[in-house]
Structure formats: C-alpha cells, structure tokens
Amino acid sequence: MRWENYTSPSEKFRNERVFDGCGITGFINIDGTLTKGDKIIEMLEILHDRENGLGAGFAAYGIYPQYKDFYALHFLFDNDQIRLNTEDFLSSKGVVVFSEPIPTKQPSNVDKPPIVWRMFYEPKEMKSLSQDEQMVQLVMEVNEKIEGAFIMSSGKNMGVFKGNGWSHEIAEYYKIKDYEAYMWLGHSRFPTNTPGWWGGAHPFNLLGTSVVHNGEITSYGTNMRYLESFGYKCTLFTDTEVIAYLFDLLVRRHKLPIPIVSLALAPPLFSEIESMDKKYQLALKNIRATYRSAMLNGPFSIVVGQNGHIPTLIGLTDRKKLRPLIAAISEDENTIYLSSEEASFKRLMLDSSKSFKFKEIWHPRSGTAVVARLGEGLIRNGLELPFENLQLSVMGV
C-alpha cells in the first residue's frame, strides 16, 4: 500500500487526468439478504491481472441499518485537526448524529496513516433546497475547499471503502470481510501514468450512487462542462467522477428511468434509430438531442449501484463494446452478478465450501443496460433492443 496522497493527488500531478484500465465487479441480492464481504473480495481478487496495486475499493449497501435515516459520510483526512475542523463545519450546517473512526487494520510501521472516519449526518431543514441537494452542495464544498479532507461516500445506509494499494490490501485494511451488504461493488485499478491517490480510487460516489469504471471517456471535456452547468464540480481529475454525477443528474434530478438513462449515455446510432417505428424514433432522437452532452464516448464498462427510490444494480458498456462486461444470475434467481470477466463467477463456483451455481451467464449487448432492482429482480438483461419489453407512450403520438 502507498501511505501518501490521501485526500488529493500529489502536488506534481494536480490537474492531470488519470487514465486507467481496471477490473470491475458487483452483485445484488434481490430479496435483500445480506452477504459478507469475502464474496466480493473473491470475485475481485481473481481479476488480479487487471490491477497493478495502485488503487482498489468497495461499495457496500445495507451496512448501516441502525443509522439508515442519516447520510453516512465516509471520510479520508490527512490529520485529526482537519477532521475536527470538518466536523465543526458540518455541525454548523446540520447535526452530526454519530461520529467514529472506520475500523481498520493499520500496519504499525506507517509514519502518517490517513484518518479514515465516518459520520452519520442530517443537514438542517431548508425550504429552498431538498436534503439531497444540500448534501450534494456540502460534499462539493468539503472536497473542493477543505484542504486535507475528502468525502469518499455520502449515501444513506451504504459506504465506500477505497485506497491506494492492491485490492487484497485494501480489503484487509478496511476489514471488508466484516461487513454485510445486500449489494456490493468492487474495483481494482491499473492506472497508466500517475501513482494515484486514495480519493482518486474507485468507486466514485455521490449520495446513493456509486460507480466503478473500466476504460477512458473520450467525451470527458464535453460531459464535464455539461455537468458544471448543473452545479457539479469536477475536481477529482478522473472521468469516472463524471459518470457518477451523470447518474445523479439523470436519475435523481431528472428522474429518468434507468433504461432511458442508458439510452442517453450510450444511444443507438442514427442509422439504427432511423430504421425503427416513428414513436421510437421520436423518443430516441429527442433523447439524443436533449442529452447530447451527457453521451459517453470512448471505451467504458461500468457497474453502478444506487439506493435512491429502489436500490438498483446497473451494468453498461459503450455502444462499440470496447470494454468487457459479463452478467450472471444465481440458480435461485436471487442474486444478479456483473463483472469484467467470467472468472469472477467461476471463482465462486470453485469455492467448495459454498457450492455456488449459476442459472445463466450471458454477455449483455453493447450500450444496453443490465438492471436489477431490489425486491423486483432482473428488470433488463441487457440483451434487449432499445424499447423491447417496454411499453412506451409518447405524448401526442
């Protein structure tokens, strides 16, 4: 592990974008059963050829049932004084209900380890802003303005654990095995050029949305400038950040259904659209026209976890399928898995202690979302045409 650059990249590499190739994985239990962290660790560690020890992380949903009504803030601090200052700042804008260190297995030989901390928080009631909007602003403010502080995650009843090291190191450091969650995301990283920093590892999170990402977004500048006009501040020097914010914008603020979000982020080609029925053409062309700046270009595969209205696991690749993504459903149809490689699933089957069986393993179509919702199951398997199995009605048609 690299015991430096916790809350911002090193001075030398500020303003430089991080490009990486990575392993991504995740799963959701439809009935809400909690699963211990060793499963996601197994799924991720088997992808070790996709990482080089420069960053890894996990997102776990359902881990704080006792505080589920409060925003769970996961922090990295450079020192304890900054932690106190940050807590004071937050107390001035709301109530810190509970505050404690995140349990870690800290090696003894580290000079200046990070302070990893969690707070359960409730912002003050405001007439003009919803609590979610207030939290977004607070997260942006802390990450941008408080030097030495970084909020890793800010959703309710969930948390992100990440740092600069191999995935097995990060798992051990945060004692991931001890957490129980109904939905897990994992990420291991292979950055191309910079040593990276803790906050810059995946998953990227805003409120309940966490993103793990493999690839590079060539439309970064367009997406970033689009998000900035909605008040998001892209300060993390990575393209994954924009994906997290796009999901926040399109799902939470614009309230688009997930299948529509995937059509906005990875739309069909015009030549495909033009071969469809009038109604679909109208919808798809207007999606492209309206969200032209949200479209993600370049190679990517992503796994996204959300716990807004209904907790959801989403998998999506670019429309040219330049990055891998594979999906699986357990024999009892209760668990939906996503990963960069089938090895993640095979690894679980090899674990003789657990006797995992999969009902089906499949490769989703490019640019087509896999969507699994808590309590509902697999809503979209990622093999559908844009509006297949959807009843679309368009006003005036």
Partner 1 sequence: MSLSHIFPTYFKIEIDRDLCKKCKRCTNHCSYGALSFNGERIVAEDDKCVACQRCVTMCPGKAIRVVRNESYLPPHGNYTRRIRNIIWAQSGNGGVLLSATGNDRPIRSIFDDLLLDACQVTNPAIDPLRETIETKVFFGRRPNKLDFSMDEGDPSKVSLKTEFYPHFEIDMPIMVGHMSLGSISYNACMAIYQASKELNILAGSGEGGLHPDFYEYGPNIISEVASGRFGVDINYLHNVAGLEIKIGQGAKPGHGGHLPGEKVNTLISQTRMIPKGSDALSPYPHHDIYSIEDLAQLIAALKEATRYKVPVGVKIAAVHNSAPIAVGIVRGGADFLTLDGFRGGTGAAPRIIRDHAGIPIELAIASVDQRLRDEGLRDEITLVAGGSIRYSADLIKAIALGADVGMCCLPVLIAMGCRMCQQCFRGLCSWGIATQNEYLVKRLDIDVARNRIINLFHSWNEELKEVLGAMGIDSVESLRSNRDRLRYIGPNPRIAEILGVKHAGE
Task: Give me the residues that bind partner 1 (CB under 8 A), please.
Answer: 15, 17, 19-21, 192, 215-216, 218-222, 224-226, 228-230, 253-257, 259-260, 269-271, 283, 285-293, 295-299, 319-320, 322, 373, 376, 379, 389-396
Nearest-approach distance from CB 94 to partner 1, in angstroms = 26
Nearest-approach distance from CB 287 to partner 1, in angstroms = 7
Nearest-approach distance from CB 48 to partner 1, in angstroms = 20
Pick the closest to residue 301 from 25, 43, 51 (CA basis): 25
Nearest-approach distance from CB 285 to partner 1, in angstroms = 7
Q: Contact 26/303 with Cβ under 8 angstroms? A: yes
Whole-number Å distance between alpha carbons of 163 and 198: 4
Nearest-approach distance from CB 321 to partner 1, in angstroms = 11
Give the C-alpha distances (Å, rounded to integers) separating 192 from 53, 196, 370, 378: 12, 10, 28, 35
Estimate to the nearest angstrom the gap between the alpha carbon of 129 and the chain centroid. 24
- By beta-carbon proximity to partner 1, the closer residue of 344 and 366 is 366
Nearest-approach distance from CB 110 to partner 1, in angstroms = 31
Q: Which amino acid is at 185?
A: L
Tokens of 319: 């429309």
- By beta-carbon proximity to partner 1, the closer residue of 178 and 274 is 274
DSSP secondary structure letters along 92-147:
TTEEEEEEEEPP----TT-SS--EEEEEEEEEPP-SSS-HHHHHHHHHHHHHHHST
Sign of CA dihedral 155, 161, 164, 168: negative
Whole-number Å distance between alpha carbons of 17 and 13: 8
Give the C-alpha distances (Å, rounded to integers) separating 182 from 36, 39, 59: 9, 12, 11
Whole-number Å distance between alpha carbons of 4 and 44: 24
Which residues are marked as active site?
Answer: 22
Which stretches of 291-383 are DSSP H helices? 343-350
Give the C-alpha distances (Å, rounded to integers) separating 275 from 164, 263, 278: 48, 16, 9
